[in-house]
Amino acid sequence: MAGRRLTGVFTENFAKNLNAVQAFLGDEGREAWARLLDRLFEDLIPTITQFPQSGRPFLAQSIGSLEARRTVRRLRRGLHPGDELREFILDDYLVLYLVRDPIVAFLAVKHHRQLSFDLHGFWP
């Protein structure tokens, strides 16, 4: 897939997450917010659309809790053959994205101090 640029799309959840990050950072985090946007749109998104395997496989991590195992089973059922659910750490942020050739869908972004991804909204 490398060498051919995929199309990046943004989910509604990704946009909501960006708003939540901005609110989380607050007024005192304006510079951090501006840095995040610069890094996302100037560095990360072009890199991921060109080299989608840059992030690590999200579902390859060890799972400790029963609840997480159930969630992962539901996630796997929502994936199509060939789909890759991946994560990328960008400074203080974790970006979750789906590679479904010919697109890269940006699913979620969180500051590392925010609680967790809301994966229930991705696949009904």
- The domain locations on the chain are 7-111
The crossing angle, in degrees rounded to 10, of helices 12-25 and 30-38 is 150
Give the whole-angstrom CA distance, residue 79 versus residue 85. 8
* Tens digit of each residue's pLDDT, the chain (124 residues): 556 789 999 999 999 999 999 998 999 999 999 999 999 999 999 999 999 999 999 998 888 888 888 888 888 898 999 999 999 999 999 999 999 999 999 999 999 888 655 555 555 5
Q: What is the pLDDT of residue 35?
A: 96
Q: What is the pLDDT of residue 71?
A: 84
Q: What is the pLDDT of residue 87?
A: 95
DSSP state of 53: G
Q: Comparing C-alpha atoms, which of 54, 45, 60, 57 is closest to residue 10? A: 45
On whether the CB atoms of residues 107 and 96 are closer than 8 A, the answer is yes
Q: What is the pLDDT of residue 121?
A: 59
Q: What is the pLDDT of residue 68?
A: 83
* Amino acid of residue 69: R
Q: What is the pLDDT of residue 114?
A: 80
Predicted TM-score (pTM) of this structure: 0.85
Q: What is the CATH number of domain 7-111?
A: 3.30.2310.20
